[in-house]
Structure 1
Amino acid sequence: MEVNRLPSDNFPEYHLKLDYHVEGPEQKPEWACFHLYGTIDQTPIDERFAMHRDVAFNFLQRIRQCLRKRGLHLHTDVLFAFHAEYDPLFEDLRHQLHGLVGEPVDLERFLRDD
Protein backbone atom coordinates (compact mmCIF):
# COMPACT_ATOMS: atom_id res chain seq x y z
CA MET A 1 0.00 0.00 0.00
CA GLU A 2 1.24 3.48 -0.78
CA VAL A 3 -0.09 6.86 0.40
CA ASN A 4 0.97 10.33 -0.66
CA ARG A 5 -0.25 13.66 0.62
CA LEU A 6 0.76 17.19 -0.22
CA PRO A 7 1.34 19.56 2.69
CA SER A 8 -1.63 21.48 4.05
CA ASP A 9 -2.13 23.98 6.86
CA ASN A 10 -2.36 21.27 9.52
CA PHE A 11 -0.34 18.39 8.11
CA PRO A 12 3.11 17.88 6.61
CA GLU A 13 3.76 16.30 3.25
CA TYR A 14 4.27 12.56 3.30
CA HIS A 15 4.98 9.65 1.01
CA LEU A 16 4.72 6.29 2.77
CA LYS A 17 4.63 2.67 1.73
CA LEU A 18 3.48 -0.24 3.85
CA ASP A 19 4.48 -3.76 2.88
CA TYR A 20 3.41 -6.84 4.83
CA HIS A 21 3.50 -10.61 4.81
CA VAL A 22 2.47 -13.38 7.19
CA GLU A 23 4.66 -16.01 8.83
CA GLY A 24 3.91 -19.34 10.43
CA PRO A 25 2.11 -22.56 9.51
CA GLU A 26 0.20 -22.28 6.24
CA GLN A 27 -3.06 -23.44 7.85
CA LYS A 28 -2.97 -20.73 10.53
CA PRO A 29 -0.12 -18.21 10.31
CA GLU A 30 0.82 -16.68 13.66
CA TRP A 31 2.45 -13.39 12.69
CA ALA A 32 1.88 -10.42 10.40
CA CYS A 33 5.15 -8.67 9.58
CA PHE A 34 5.07 -5.04 8.43
CA HIS A 35 7.56 -2.67 6.82
CA LEU A 36 6.70 1.04 6.84
CA TYR A 37 9.03 3.27 4.85
CA GLY A 38 9.13 6.59 3.04
CA THR A 39 9.25 10.19 4.22
CA ILE A 40 7.20 12.56 6.34
CA ASP A 41 8.08 16.22 5.90
CA GLN A 42 11.40 15.08 4.39
CA THR A 43 12.17 12.92 7.45
CA PRO A 44 13.03 9.36 6.38
CA ILE A 45 10.95 6.58 7.92
CA ASP A 46 12.02 2.94 7.92
CA GLU A 47 10.25 0.82 10.54
CA ARG A 48 9.71 -2.92 10.71
CA PHE A 49 7.45 -4.63 13.21
CA ALA A 50 5.61 -7.90 13.69
CA MET A 51 2.25 -8.41 15.33
CA HIS A 52 0.62 -11.59 16.53
CA ARG A 53 -2.30 -12.64 14.35
CA ASP A 54 -4.99 -11.78 16.91
CA VAL A 55 -3.88 -8.14 17.16
CA ALA A 56 -2.47 -7.63 13.66
CA PHE A 57 -5.56 -5.73 12.54
CA ASN A 58 -4.58 -2.94 14.92
CA PHE A 59 -1.54 -2.12 12.78
CA LEU A 60 -2.59 1.53 12.30
CA GLN A 61 -2.15 2.11 16.03
CA ARG A 62 1.30 0.49 15.84
CA ILE A 63 2.22 2.82 12.97
CA ARG A 64 1.16 5.77 15.10
CA GLN A 65 3.43 4.53 17.90
CA CYS A 66 6.36 4.16 15.49
CA LEU A 67 5.89 7.73 14.27
CA ARG A 68 5.56 9.13 17.80
CA LYS A 69 8.86 7.50 18.77
CA ARG A 70 10.42 9.55 15.98
CA GLY A 71 8.78 12.74 17.25
CA LEU A 72 6.21 12.82 14.45
CA HIS A 73 2.70 13.40 15.78
CA LEU A 74 0.75 12.62 12.65
CA HIS A 75 -2.62 11.01 13.22
CA THR A 76 -2.78 7.55 11.71
CA ASP A 77 -6.31 8.15 10.49
CA VAL A 78 -4.86 10.90 8.31
CA LEU A 79 -2.31 8.51 6.84
CA PHE A 80 -4.98 6.05 5.79
CA ALA A 81 -7.97 8.37 5.74
CA PHE A 82 -10.02 6.71 3.06
CA HIS A 83 -11.53 3.26 3.41
CA ALA A 84 -10.85 2.60 -0.26
CA GLU A 85 -7.13 2.65 0.58
CA TYR A 86 -7.06 0.36 3.58
CA ASP A 87 -10.16 -1.86 3.35
CA PRO A 88 -8.53 -4.10 0.71
CA LEU A 89 -5.45 -4.37 2.96
CA PHE A 90 -7.57 -5.46 5.94
CA GLU A 91 -9.39 -8.00 3.79
CA ASP A 92 -6.15 -9.39 2.35
CA LEU A 93 -4.59 -9.59 5.80
CA ARG A 94 -7.67 -11.36 7.16
CA HIS A 95 -7.51 -13.82 4.25
CA GLN A 96 -3.77 -14.49 4.68
CA LEU A 97 -4.12 -14.96 8.46
CA HIS A 98 -7.25 -17.10 8.04
CA GLY A 99 -8.93 -14.69 10.46
CA LEU A 100 -12.55 -15.18 11.44
CA VAL A 101 -15.04 -12.53 12.48
CA GLY A 102 -15.49 -12.75 16.24
CA GLU A 103 -12.19 -14.56 16.80
CA PRO A 104 -10.94 -13.87 20.36
CA VAL A 105 -8.17 -11.35 21.00
CA ASP A 106 -5.62 -11.57 23.80
CA LEU A 107 -6.42 -8.32 25.62
CA GLU A 108 -3.03 -8.13 27.37
CA ARG A 109 -1.24 -8.44 24.04
CA PHE A 110 -3.60 -5.87 22.50
CA LEU A 111 -2.91 -3.32 25.24
CA ARG A 112 0.88 -3.68 25.19
CA ASP A 113 2.85 -0.85 23.58
CA ASP A 114 5.64 -3.04 22.21
Structure 2
Amino acid sequence: MFRPGHAEVSRPATQGYPGYHLVLDYHVEGEGEKPEWACFHLHGEVDRQPIDEQFSMHRDVAFNFLQRIRRCLRRRGVRLHADVVFGFHAVYDPLFEDLRQQLHGMPGEPVNLERFLREP
Protein backbone atom coordinates (compact mmCIF):
# COMPACT_ATOMS: atom_id res chain seq x y z
CA MET A 1 0.00 0.00 0.00
CA PHE A 2 1.27 3.48 -0.85
CA ARG A 3 0.22 7.00 -0.07
CA PRO A 4 2.54 10.02 -0.20
CA GLY A 5 4.96 9.84 2.71
CA HIS A 6 4.02 6.26 3.58
CA ALA A 7 4.56 2.78 2.12
CA GLU A 8 3.56 -0.55 3.61
CA VAL A 9 4.45 -4.09 2.50
CA SER A 10 3.43 -7.42 4.01
CA ARG A 11 3.89 -11.06 3.20
CA PRO A 12 2.99 -14.16 5.20
CA ALA A 13 5.75 -16.63 6.05
CA THR A 14 6.38 -19.30 3.43
CA GLN A 15 8.65 -22.30 3.44
CA GLY A 16 12.17 -20.97 3.89
CA TYR A 17 11.22 -17.27 4.07
CA PRO A 18 10.04 -15.27 7.07
CA GLY A 19 6.78 -13.37 7.16
CA TYR A 20 6.94 -9.62 7.55
CA HIS A 21 5.01 -6.41 7.81
CA LEU A 22 7.13 -3.31 7.13
CA VAL A 23 6.09 0.33 7.11
CA LEU A 24 8.26 3.08 5.65
CA ASP A 25 7.33 6.66 6.50
CA TYR A 26 9.35 9.46 4.91
CA HIS A 27 9.55 13.19 4.46
CA VAL A 28 12.07 15.71 3.15
CA GLU A 29 13.85 18.47 5.07
CA GLY A 30 15.78 21.54 4.09
CA GLU A 31 15.10 25.04 3.01
CA GLY A 32 15.24 26.55 -0.41
CA GLU A 33 14.25 25.33 -3.82
CA LYS A 34 15.70 21.85 -3.36
CA PRO A 35 15.34 20.14 0.05
CA GLU A 36 18.63 18.55 1.09
CA TRP A 37 17.56 15.51 3.10
CA ALA A 38 15.15 12.62 2.85
CA CYS A 39 14.27 11.28 6.31
CA PHE A 40 12.99 7.72 6.68
CA HIS A 41 11.40 5.73 9.49
CA LEU A 42 11.25 1.97 8.93
CA HIS A 43 9.15 0.06 11.43
CA GLY A 44 7.18 -3.14 11.70
CA GLU A 45 8.33 -6.70 12.13
CA VAL A 46 10.09 -9.48 10.29
CA ASP A 47 9.63 -13.04 11.52
CA ARG A 48 8.08 -11.65 14.73
CA GLN A 49 11.22 -9.55 15.33
CA PRO A 50 10.38 -5.85 15.81
CA ILE A 51 12.06 -3.37 13.48
CA ASP A 52 12.35 0.34 14.27
CA GLU A 53 15.04 2.24 12.38
CA GLN A 54 15.31 5.91 11.46
CA PHE A 55 17.81 7.31 8.99
CA SER A 56 18.38 10.33 6.77
CA MET A 57 19.99 10.40 3.36
CA HIS A 58 21.30 13.35 1.37
CA ARG A 59 19.06 14.18 -1.58
CA ASP A 60 21.49 12.93 -4.23
CA VAL A 61 21.71 9.42 -2.72
CA ALA A 62 18.20 9.22 -1.21
CA PHE A 63 16.88 7.14 -4.10
CA ASN A 64 19.10 4.29 -2.89
CA PHE A 65 16.90 3.93 0.22
CA LEU A 66 16.01 0.29 -0.51
CA GLN A 67 19.66 -0.71 -0.20
CA ARG A 68 19.82 1.17 3.09
CA ILE A 69 16.72 -0.71 4.31
CA ARG A 70 18.29 -4.02 3.34
CA ARG A 71 21.42 -3.12 5.33
CA CYS A 72 19.30 -2.14 8.35
CA LEU A 73 17.60 -5.52 8.25
CA ARG A 74 20.87 -7.43 7.81
CA ARG A 75 22.41 -5.58 10.77
CA ARG A 76 19.57 -6.94 12.88
CA GLY A 77 20.23 -10.46 11.65
CA VAL A 78 17.26 -10.60 9.29
CA ARG A 79 18.03 -12.57 6.14
CA LEU A 80 15.55 -11.98 3.35
CA HIS A 81 15.17 -13.28 -0.18
CA ALA A 82 16.15 -10.58 -2.70
CA ASP A 83 12.62 -9.86 -3.91
CA VAL A 84 11.24 -9.35 -0.41
CA VAL A 85 12.36 -5.74 -0.20
CA PHE A 86 12.71 -5.00 -3.90
CA GLY A 87 9.78 -6.84 -5.46
CA PHE A 88 6.89 -4.48 -4.75
CA HIS A 89 6.90 -2.20 -7.79
CA ALA A 90 3.26 -1.24 -7.28
CA VAL A 91 4.33 0.29 -3.94
CA TYR A 92 7.85 1.48 -4.69
CA ASP A 93 7.35 3.00 -8.13
CA PRO A 94 4.91 5.67 -6.86
CA LEU A 95 7.11 6.14 -3.78
CA PHE A 96 10.15 6.88 -5.97
CA GLU A 97 8.07 9.33 -8.00
CA ASP A 98 6.74 11.05 -4.88
CA LEU A 99 10.22 11.28 -3.38
CA ARG A 100 11.60 12.65 -6.66
CA GLN A 101 8.90 15.34 -6.68
CA GLN A 102 9.43 16.25 -3.02
CA LEU A 103 13.19 16.53 -3.53
CA HIS A 104 12.72 18.33 -6.88
CA GLY A 105 15.02 15.73 -8.43
CA MET A 106 15.68 15.81 -12.13
CA PRO A 107 16.64 12.87 -14.37
CA GLY A 108 20.37 12.88 -14.96
CA GLU A 109 21.10 14.94 -11.85
CA PRO A 110 24.63 14.10 -10.67
CA VAL A 111 25.30 11.96 -7.61
CA ASN A 112 28.23 12.62 -5.31
CA LEU A 113 30.04 9.29 -5.71
CA GLU A 114 32.09 9.80 -2.54
CA ARG A 115 28.89 10.29 -0.52
CA PHE A 116 27.24 7.35 -2.23
CA LEU A 117 30.12 5.03 -1.36
CA ARG A 118 30.28 6.37 2.19
CA GLU A 119 26.60 5.64 2.97
CA PRO A 120 26.35 2.97 5.69
TM-score (norm 2): 0.90
1:18 to 14, 19, 24: 24
**Cα offset, 1:96, TM superposition:** 0.1
Q: Residue type of the partner of 1:14?
A: Y
**What is the CA RMSD across the aligned residues, in angstroms?**
1.2
- What CA distance in whole angstroms lies between the structure 1 residues aligned with 2:17 and 2:111? 33
The answer as to whether partners of 1:61 and 1:76 remain within 8 angstroms in 2 is: no
Query: What secondary structure does 1:57 align onto?
Result: helix
- What CA distance in whole angstroms lies between the structure 2 residues aligned with 1:3 and 1:48? 17
- What CA distance in whole angstroms lies between the structure 2 residues aligned with 1:76 and 1:49? 21
The answer as to whether partners of 1:24 and 1:31 remain within 8 angstroms in 2 is: yes
TM-score (norm 1): 0.94
User: Is 1:59 aligned with 2:65?
Assistant: yes
User: Is 1:43 aligned with 2:49?
Assistant: yes
User: Is 1:4 aligned with 2:18?
Assistant: no
1:85 to 78, 91, 94: 91
Task: Please give the per-residue CA displacement for 1:13-54, whole angstroms capped at 9, x wherever unaligned.
Answer: 100100000000141100000000000000000000000000
Q: Residue type of the partner of 1:97?
A: L
Identity in percent: 70
- What CA distance in whole angstroms lies between the structure 2 residues aligned with 1:69 and 1:78? 16
Structure 2 stretches of 5 or more lacking a match? 1-6
The answer as to whether partners of 1:14 and 1:40 remain within 8 angstroms in 2 is: yes
Q: Aligned residue pairs: how many?
A: 114
Structure 1 stretches of 5 or more lacking a match? none
Choose between structure 1 and 2 for higher RCO, CA contacts under 8 A separated by at least 6 residues.
2
2:39 to 13, 33, 36: 33
- What CA distance in whole angstroms lies between the structure 2 residues aligned with 1:46 and 1:75? 20
